[in-house]
Amino acid sequence: MSESLNIVPDSLNAHECSVYEKVYSISEEYMLRLRDKPLFSRDVFMLAVGHTQSPVDMASWTKLNDYDFIFACYFLLLARYPSEEEVNYWLSRPAFRPALCKSILSSKEFLNRGIQAINCPYVDSLFQFRIRCFLAQVWTYVYRYAVYPITRWIPAGFKRKLKKLLFHRS
């Protein structure tokens, strides 16, 4: 495993930190004895233990290495482990962190969890980003259940003329 960065969440006091560090070191020793490596580093473990349900503070995540960053995003924001294909996909992309954050923060899986992410250094304005994602979802439903059923019954010739009128650029 890589060198630990000693990332400690604000929600844990010193005694809790030492207890959780011992728990991690015991489980790490046990997994190494079984010739298996731990799924994530001590830093991701401490972030996971120390975070409450909402909001998730992403400010200290810039210090994590790429592999731990992917695990932290999936584990803390989506409450699941990433598959090997997902990890390989993100690691194969150059400068993947902003794209990963935007992908997860705009996913239905994240929105359905009802978690709030704060201080994300990879998304300029998280509030505006969430509003755009919400409006895109609303437009999808409006189009699917209101606009499309109405336009289905309009004759094709009339649709073409309407498209020319509405979308013709002068």
pLDDT: which is higher, 123 or 169 = 123
Section 99-106 average pLDDT: 87
CA-based angle 113:135:143, to the nearest 5? 110
pLDDT: which is higher, 87 or 22 = 87
Rounded to whole angstroms, the Cα distance separating 128 from 148 reads: 28
Q: Is the pLDDT of residue 86 over 80?
A: yes
Section 63-80 average pLDDT: 88
pTM above 0.85, yes or no: no
φ, ψ at 157 (rounded to 5°): -60, -40
- SS3 state at 170: coil
Can you list the positions of beta strands (E) in the chain?
56-57, 117-118
Section 29-51 average pLDDT: 77
> What local confidence, expressed as pLDDT, does residue 97 receive?
92
> Of 99, 98, 82, whose CA–CA distance to 40 is shortest?
82
How many other CB atoms sit within 10 Å of the CB of residue 155?
8
> Of 120, 108, 130, 126, whose CA–CA distance to 72 is shortest?
120
Residue that has been written with the tokens 């509030």 in this structure: 127
Q: Express each pLDDT in 3-22 by its tens digit.
A: 555 565 555 667 677 777 78
> What local confidence, expressed as pLDDT, does residue 52 receive?
62
> What local confidence, expressed as pLDDT, does residue 91 receive?
93
> Any idea which of 51-55, 56-60, 104-108 has the lowest mean pLDDT?
51-55
Q: Express each pLDDT in 138-147 by its tens digit.
A: 777 777 787 7
> Using N-to-C axis directions, what is the helix angle for 14-33 and 42-50, rounded to 10°?
130
Rounded to whole angstroms, the Cα distance separating 124 from 114 reads: 21
pLDDT range class, residue 35, cuts 50, 70, 90? confident
Q: Is the pLDDT of residue 31 over 50?
A: yes
Report the relative pairing of strands 117-118 and 56-57 from DSSP bridges. parallel
> What local confidence, expressed as pLDDT, does residue 89 receive?
94
